[in-house]
Chain A
């Protein structure tokens, strides 16, 4: 008898071993899906390159992006200047690399701000309910009623003189010459504007997620079992809400770059001689007929970068949103 039982046991284990499936969870699934998505992987490569450029770009070129080569003005690509020079004799490659630094810095800072503000305000509204929630929702509605860029433009135009005054006051009070460089103020202005316009999307998302997750059965059962509030937040709310938030962050990263470029293009963002892709396009647009490469190059770089973030966002959305999948696994 005993022998038979052990034999059956062994056979069962053998079967189990044969048919054991690898352990799966949301993150592993998402990762495998993302790896399989060629478009998303390509985007990740592009994004890595852009980040690398932002970090080390200025060390890679022999020219400073402000250096004017008076012997080679408005040249098409040559061996000396691989991407040519603009009408002031500045090396286009150096300027594009410097512009990448601007774009990434703005995107990182403003996305972080949008993330912190959005999650805090959204969660606050969902948790407090009542008047606080109503106030949060109305504020979001108000900010989203305006076209995004138009609101950013309006804010930038109204805040700008205040920032300039602020800078002047700092210089006069503390006598720090470095603060007189208005480039810092341009950055601050853009951070402020994109900080204000960036969070409502995320706040709405987080609020909706928290509200709907709190109504799910597993949260109620956790409450019934007597789990503490922080445990529910850490173990149930955060992991489940994280997917959509990550997708939205990827999208808002590209969006922040685009808004910065638009503002700089319109003359409200980074001012010359600073480097920003949007501003470079605006500077060279007058000569599109005679020196098209001066417009095309920053334009292409901006386009490829933003496109990479869009495709990455799509890939993340497909990977992190299991409900998108139909039974056959087709989208």
Chain B
């Protein structure tokens, strides 16, 4: 924050601002205070937007981002799962190659390139959607493009994971047993293969989360959705250090938390991972 003192102010004003921001105290004291306030849930104040509390800013921004993220993850999961199953079903055939390389290609496009391209295609050329700028809740047609954009960033990873883990599961003995019992193909896939192939999918869900968060920065900036990513964007263009610091910390915290959730879910889904129980017995 010291770095913001670039302007040519007179000494007295400078001292007063430094004092009000707490910059005249030693570094270690400032850091201690920052940590102390963080512990109490006080996230500090934005420099740029007239000393607004970051708590309030986050509270306002969060709901939109959560909704957008949920919808995006839903799209990600559904499209990735369907494509992954198809790719595994027709593995090493043309459909498989097309699906895998197309999803890799689409996932490689940075969000800020894909967004204008989709807008040009769907809004300018095809005219299917009127305008996507702004936020009108998740049941408006404005959500379609942001949802696709957030979802697309991780589709390739999901498709690959589904494909390889289904192929691995299908060669297991119990699947052969199920076939021998004469179960229908659909029942085998749904009940025996998908459930067992699901564990690695959890890993990739946790791993994709960072992508969703960074994706939301670009998506929310382009579509002018005032959520978490937009807050980061505002922090960047204004060099609003308190906001940047909190948002960065916050996203790391979310990722760590989600990793914990996934670790717990492993045990729920796959009984083989429950290490503790075996030790207790």
A residues apposed to B, CB below 8 Å: 39, 145-151, 153-154, 157-158, 160-162, 165, 254, 258, 261-262, 265-268, 278, 281-282, 285, 288-289, 292, 295-296, 299-300, 302-303, 306-307, 310-311, 314, 330
Contacts and interface: CB of A to CB of B under 8 A. Distances in A.
A14 B92 CA distance: 40
B248 A154 contact: yes
Q: Please provide the 7 A-B residue pairs with the shortest distance between their CB atoms, ordered closest to farther.
A: A147-B210, A299-B113, A161-B3, A149-B214, A295-B116, A154-B248, A292-B120
Nearest to B1: A158
Given A145-B252, A147-B210, A157 B241 contact: yes
19 contacts: A145-B252, A146-B251, A147-B213, A147-B251, A147-B252, A150-B210, A150-B232, A153-B248, A157-B235, A262-B218, A265-B218, A278-B112, A281-B112, A281-B113, A281-B116, A295-B120, A302-B113, A303-B109, A307-B104
B248 A150 contact: yes
A296 B120 contact: yes
Chain B contact residues, majority secondary structure: helix
Contact of B239 (A160, A288, A296): A160
Contacts of A281: 112-113, 116
B95 to A, nearest CB: 16
B124 interface: yes
B11 interface: no
B248 A146 contact: yes
Given A146-B251, A265-B112, 9 more contacts: A145-B255, A154-B248, A265-B110, A268-B236, A281-B116, A285-B112, A289-B123, A299-B113, A300-B113
B237 interface: yes
A261 B110 CA distance: 9
A303 B210 contact: no
A299 B252 contact: no
Nearest to A310: B108
Contact of A288 (B119, B218, B247): B119
Contacts, number: 116
A150 B255 CA distance: 12
B236 A285 contact: no
A282 B116 contact: no
Nearest to A282: B112
Contacts of A160: 239
Nearest to A153: B236
B152 interface: no
A70 B252 CA distance: 48
B116 A288 contact: yes
B168 to A, nearest CB: 11
A150 B113 contact: no
B38 to A, nearest CB: 16
Chain A contact residues, majority secondary structure: helix
Pick from A153, A296, A300, A314 the residue with the most CB of B within 10 Å. Answer: A153
Given A147-B213, A162-B3, A268-B236, A154 B255 contact: no
Interface string B132-165: 0000000000000000000000000000000000
Interface in B11-62: none
Contacts of B119: 288
B113 A146 contact: no
A139 to B, nearest CB: 14
B104 A311 contact: yes
Interface of B: 3-4, 6, 92, 101, 104-105, 108-110, 112-113, 116-117, 119-120, 123-124, 210-211, 213-214, 217-218, 222, 232-233, 235-237, 239, 241, 244-245, 247-248, 251-252, 255-256
B210 A157 contact: no
A210 to B, nearest CB: 24
Contacts of A289: 123-124
Contacts of B218: 262, 265
A307 B255 CA distance: 27
A267 B237 contact: yes
A154 B116 contact: no
A311 B113 CA distance: 19
A261 B114 CA distance: 13
Given A157-B239, A292-B124, A262 B211 contact: no
A153 B248 CA distance: 9
Nearest to B5: A161
Contact of A147 (B3, B110, B214, B241): B214
A266 B239 CA distance: 12
A303 B108 contact: yes
A119 to B, nearest CB: 24
A150 B116 contact: no
Contact of A151 (B110, B116, B120, B248): B248
Pick from A165, A266, A278, A282 the residue with the most CB of B within 10 Å. Answer: A266
Nearest to B235: A157
A154 B214 CA distance: 12
Contact of A150 (B108, B109, B251): B251
B11 to A, nearest CB: 19
A43 B221 CA distance: 32
Contacts of B113: 281, 299-300, 302-303
A205 to B, nearest CB: 16
A13 B227 CA distance: 77
B116 A285 contact: yes
A153 to B, nearest CB: 6
B124 A258 contact: no
A265 B221 CA distance: 11
A303 B117 CA distance: 11
A150 B213 contact: yes
Contacts of A261: 110, 112
A314 B103 CA distance: 14
